[in-house]
Amino acid sequence: MKVKYFAWVRERIGIAEETVEPPADVRTVNDLIGWLSSRGEAYAYAFEKPKVIRAAIDHAHVKQDAVISGAREVAFFPPMTGG
Amino acid sequence: MSVTATIRIQEADFDVAQEIAALTKGRTDIGAVVSFSGICRGSEDGEPIAALTLEHYPGMAEAEIARHADEALTRWPLQGLTIIHRFGRIAPGENIVLVVTASPHRQAAFEAAEFLMDYLKTNAPFWKREESEKGTSWIEARDHDDAAAARWTKP
């Protein structure tokens, strides 16, 4: 699946998007945050306060207990500040 | 008559008067037009700022705004709706966002415009970064924006 990062999450990780294949036991958005955090310091820094992070699956906002199976694109970002 | 919202996400500036004129041109059924323009301030908490840079999530930004536009069209008797949100670097005094609502009477136009702005601020995937003499920093989301959006939730 494709994973996209925005705003300071993107800056901390250092890339805007990547394609990942998480192991089968990574079932939810929360699991994915945990798995990504284990991939290196930059990820751990970006996700150091998981509660602050917002997520979207295929362009729709989701909660962190949302199941990611079948997702084409998961995105992580800070709370929105548009308008 | 079914109403389709005009939604644009663009880097270029827009002309508020022109957008209102486009919505009302040749119409005699519209009784009220409300427009909200969000403009880049030249200072934040007393500190001068050089510019804002807005990042967005292409694809999701359109989808999220369209979803809320549809909801506004369902909840209020609107005759026209335009939403424009800019991204990229925006200097003080320049436009950031525009919501224009048209309806037979003012209350629906006011309420729909407020509803849309409250949701744009909290749900549309845009992020503002501020440039000042101290460098650049991401603007943090504000709790009162969440509270403003929450009041529109149906019981």
Contact B140 A81 (CB under 8 A): yes
pLDDT score recorded for residue B153: 86
pLDDT score recorded for residue B75: 97
pLDDT score recorded for residue B155: 57
Interval B18-55: pLDDT, tens: 999 999 999 999 999 999 999 999 998 888 999 999 99
Contacts within 8 Å (CB) and 24+ apart, A9-18:
A9/A46, A9/A47, A9/A53, A9/A76, A9/A77, A9/A78, A10/A77, A12/A42, A12/A45, A12/A46, A13/A42, A13/A43, A13/A46, A14/A42
pLDDT score recorded for residue B109: 98
Query: How much is the average pLDDT of A28-32?
Result: 98
Residue of A nearest to B122 (CA): A80
CA A3 distance to own-chain centroid: 7
B126 contacts in chain A (CB < 8 Å): 80-83
Our CA-based measurement puts residue A81 at a distance from the nearest CA of chain B, in whole angstroms, of 5
Contact B141 A56 (CB under 8 A): no
pLDDT score recorded for residue B95: 98
B144 band by pLDDT with thresholds 50, 70 and 90: confident
Contact A75 B140 (CB under 8 A): no
- Contacts of residue B136, defined as CB under 8 A and 6 or more positions apart, other chains included, come to B53, B129, B130
B152 band by pLDDT with thresholds 50, 70 and 90: confident
Distance CA A62, CA A75 (A): 10
Within chain B, how many helices (H) and strands (E) appear? 4, 10
What is the average pLDDT score of chain B?
94
Closest C-alpha to A44, from A35, A57, A52: A35
pLDDT score recorded for residue B2: 81
Question: Would the pLDDT of A77 be above 60?
Answer: yes
Query: How much is the average pLDDT of B72-97?
Result: 97
Query: How much is the average pLDDT of B76-83?
Result: 97
Question: Would the pLDDT of A10 be above 70?
Answer: yes
Query: How much is the average pLDDT of A37-62?
Result: 97
Interval B112-138: pLDDT, tens: 999 999 999 999 999 999 999 889 999
Question: Would the pLDDT of B1 be above 80?
Answer: no
Contact A77, A3 (CB under 8 A): no
